[in-house]
Amino acid sequence: MSFCISSSNNTTHMPMTNPRHCHYFRHNMKLWFTGLSGSGKSTIATALERELLLRHKKTIYVLDGDNIRHGLCSDLGFGTTDRQENIRRIGEVCNLFTDAGTIVLAAFVSPYKEDRDKVRLLLGKNGERKNFIEIHVQASVSTCEERDPKGLYKRARAGEIPNFTGISAPFEAPENPEVVLKSGEKSVEECVSQLVTYLKDGGYLCSPGNK
């Protein structure tokens, strides 16, 4: 006897309330770090991950170019269309993580306002509370170029990297982000402290005994 599973064209996503969302935090959330290369997005996100994990017992995952561009989006380049597709995929991945009860810290240059706005709409709201928190990691091109941990600005200046944000491609700064981190002036620790204060004041964090 043989069985055949036919394909379906009426597949729908069935939303459900996930009890894992309420285990250690009141609101599932995605923190979206945007800024120039070298502004400190991944460094600050990783430091915040450590803070929330150790002190507040949260389930966290950091998404950035290192773990996305070498796997899920390894087929994409850095032109406008590929950047748009890159951000779209990341938004969908963020949704999957939060469905599983995980706070997502997404650290990407994401230079175009339209793409970030689409992700904001995709990730939506939790009742009346925003669960997409846009964070502008603000540092000047000159500051980022001085840091240049991977030597990317030097290569971009030499014409070796086309479409490099801040040099040969634009960065559209957020107009009304939830948080602005002046990473060109503040230490990583100060930026993390600012974020934790924002999350506490906004009611996003609660202790395990206060569910």
The residues that are catalytic are 110
Residue 90's nearest CA partner among 113, 57, 114, 123 is 123
Instruction: Give the span between the Cα atoms of 167 and 157, in whole angstroms.
Output: 7
CB under 8 Å to 141, separation ≥6 — which residues? 36, 166, 167
Whole-number Å distance between alpha carbons of 113 and 203: 27
Q: How far apart are CA 147 and CA 106, in angstroms?
A: 21
Please give the Cα distance from 99 to 15 (Å, whole number): 9
Whether the Cβ atoms of residue 30 and residue 206 lie closer than 8 Å to each other: no
Total residues belonging to the chain: 211
